[in-house]
Amino acid sequence: MKVGTPTKLAVSVRGLRVDAVASRAAIVDEVDLDVRPGQILGLVGESGSGKTTLGLALLSYHKRGTRNAGGAVVVGGTDLNSVGARAIRRLRGRRVAYIPQSPGSALNPNLRVGIQLRECLPGKDSARVREVLREVALPDTDEFLARYPHQLSGGQQQRVVIAMAFIGRPDLIVLDEPTTGLDVTTQKHVLDTVRQMCAMYACAAVYISHDMAVVAELADRIAVMYSGRIVESGPAEDVLRTPRHPYTTRLLMAVPDLDGRREMRGVPGQAPAPARRPPGCAFAPRCPIAVDRCRAEAPPAEPVGPAHLVRCFRAGVDRLRVVPRTDTAPPPSAETILGVRHLIARYGSQRVLDGIDLDVPRGTCVALLGESGSGKTTLSRSIAGLHRQYDGDVLLDGKPLAHSSFARTVNERRRVQYVFQNPYESLNPRKTVRELVLGPARVLLHRIPDPERLVADALEQVTLRPDLADRYPDQLSGGERQRVAIARALVTRPDVLICDEVTSAIVEHGAVATVLDEPAHAYTRSLVANTPHFRLAAS
């Protein structure tokens, strides 16, 4: 077991820069970070701000189309950017480790759990495998080691991935939104496991997250990224209680509260593309307190408190304030657009829903709350015609819908649209954003006078830049992918929009709530939203 002294640095980053190969524009620029042994740094920011690119750069790994353009990443006394590829491969898993967003992408579906854990050790030490399983609160039995990933729950899969990361006792571990898609109870167990393992092994952690509430609970320090730079960093309590950068303030205003009294407000506008950053502060075009100096000069990182740095000429001017919630929506219609009557759903012989009755008035939002396995997704998929094994009726304007979407009319399919939870699985990787958005429109709309205008309007509606239309999903962040999925559903102007935890990959909940809410008023659309988060449902 490692023991770190309080003054020792596990990770030191200086002047780190990652460029796009084609444009040579900086995706990540001028990043300085220090993380001590056992310390957890929370890395937050909007979709496309560079969080994952930075996290991978800490492992000296760069995605296709990007390259290291300078700076040092020193882990345990070794600069990862100055050693060769062979040395880096030896260091990964031992000195540095990575936990991806989706455990399904990290676990080989064809290999048993025990084999995958042993492959992470040079000597394939079975005793160490069982030890690390106990440390992450998983069974160390032969029966568990013989299971395949599909035989585990989502929380168990994530714990196995955590065990794989910690099995080599690394100095640094990078966690890329590891609780995305987990219900609040399972999420808490995973976070507790991460915290305990970091303390046990005096391992420094960089925790990338879209969820400010998670970061507040877990992190010792917080770094806020915007357009490839760290704009504010400091002790977690200081950053959350007294944010000094206006961007940090706006992110916190986009976090839902439990009683629903505070209005969620997304950050207006869009972050610039790396090749199109304005002179001066990149946030200036969206900043409500920007002055001429902000538009002309790039602010340096200046201390505003103990170990608290901010890149802003007007640090502290824009204080966090509570904006009372005002309901600007028209009163809900008495007309029920969607109804569910005595629905009983099954998987094989197993009954998973029993006698569900539900009414959704036109122009309203109904939130389905519950833990994983409670039946939220099954009910939503039954309504959308994606799960056919059920008894009872789903009514649209009082008329029963066929159980299968394939048996429904074109207009019925247009009127009920579904946004899946995981954009990594719901978007075809071989199609561009333009093709993805136009796909449903070509099938469900009678005619499209101007396809390019339709795509541009759809992307603007979900606050995505028009130039993203030519990109493929693997060239987007998780949050950008989810916005594309929302745009694809909205393009047919549905009457009922079913959203399966659509904010799970996006940091700015308020922005997404606005995207989904405002069109609902304009089109008198109804919304059925699955979420395990009471705060989001209340807002």
What's the structural domain count of the chain?
Answer: 2
> Is residue 289 located within the same domain as residue 352?
no
Mean pLDDT of 228-240: 95
In-domain check, residue 208: yes
> Is residue 292 located within the same domain as residue 392?
no
In-domain check, residue 323: no
pLDDT at residue 5, as a whole number: 39
In-domain check, residue 317: no
Q: What is the 3-state secondary structure (H, E, C) of 119-183?
A: CCCCCCCHHHHHHHHHHCCCCCCHHHHCCCHHHCCHHHHHHHHHHHHHCCCCCEEEEECCCCCCC
In-domain check, residue 40: yes
Going by pLDDT thresholds of 50, 70 and 90, the confidence category of residue 185 is: confident
> Is residue 273 located within the same domain as residue 351?
no
- Look at residue 539 and tell me whether its pLDDT is greater than 80: no
When mean pLDDT is compared across 126-135, 182-191, 205-214, the lowest value belongs to: 182-191
pLDDT at residue 520, as a whole number: 46
pLDDT higher for 90 or 311? 311
pLDDT at residue 517, as a whole number: 53
Q: Which residues contact 522 (CB under 8 A, 6 or more apart)?
A: none
Using one digit for the tens of pLDDT, what is the confidence trace for 489-509?
999 999 999 988 776 555 444
pLDDT at residue 507, as a whole number: 47
Alpha-carbon gap, residue 138 to 141, rounded angstroms = 9
> Is residue 130 located within the same domain as residue 244?
yes
Q: Say whether 167 sits in a helix, a strand or coil.
A: coil
Going by pLDDT thresholds of 50, 70 and 90, the confidence category of residue 1 is: very low
- Look at residue 29 and tell me whether its pLDDT is greater than 80: yes
The percentage of the chain sitting over the pLDDT mark of 70, rounded to a whole number, equals 86
Domain boundary among 247, 276, 310: 310
> Is residue 262 located within the same domain as residue 352?
no
Domain boundary among 275, 310, 345: 310
DSSP letters, 97-126, are: EEE-S-HHHHS-TTS-HHHHHHTTSTT--H
Pairing of strands 350-361, 365-369: unpaired
pLDDT at residue 4, as a whole number: 39
Alpha-carbon gap, residue 219 to 214, rounded angstroms = 8
Average pLDDT of every residue of the chain: 85
> Is residue 157 located within the same domain as residue 293?
yes
Could you tell me the CATH number of the domain that includes residue 148? 3.40.50.300
In-domain check, residue 316: no
Pairing of strands 221-226, 229-235: antiparallel
Question: Distance from CA of residue 504 to its chain's centroid?
Answer: 5
Residue among 341, 404, 352, 359 at smallest CA distance from 375: 352
> Is residue 228 located within the same domain as residue 361?
no
> Is residue 303 located within the same domain as residue 226?
yes
> Is residue 276 located within the same domain as residue 419?
no
- Look at residue 519 and tell me whether its pLDDT is greater than 70: no
pLDDT at residue 523, as a whole number: 46
When mean pLDDT is compared across 76-90, 230-244, 261-275, 488-502, the lowest value belongs to: 261-275
- Look at residue 535 and tell me whether its pLDDT is greater than 80: no
Using one digit for the tens of pLDDT, what is the confidence trace for 267-286?
777 888 888 899 999 999 99
pLDDT at residue 516, as a whole number: 54
Mean pLDDT of 454-469: 90
> Is residue 358 located within the same domain as residue 283?
no
pLDDT at residue 518, as a whole number: 52
Using one digit for the tens of pLDDT, what is the confidence trace for 97-144?
999 877 777 899 999 999 999 988 877 678 899 999 999 889 999 999
Mean pLDDT of 288-304: 94
In-domain check, residue 103: yes
In-domain check, residue 6: no
pLDDT higher for 254 or 532? 254
> Is residue 277 located within the same domain as residue 379?
no
pLDDT at residue 299, as a whole number: 95
Residue 325, Cβ neighbours under 10 Å: how many?
15
Mean pLDDT of 192-218: 89
In-domain check, residue 271: yes
pLDDT higher for 48 or 352? 352
When mean pLDDT is compared across 201-205, 317-321, 452-456, the lowest value belongs to: 317-321
- Look at residue 175 and tell me whether its pLDDT is greater than 60: yes
- What domain range includes position 93? 11-310
Using one digit for the tens of pLDDT, what is the confidence trace for 300-351?
999 999 999 999 999 977 665 545 555 545 555 568 999 999 999 999 888 9
Going by pLDDT thresholds of 50, 70 and 90, the confidence category of residue 63 is: confident
> Is residue 270 located within the same domain as residue 404?
no
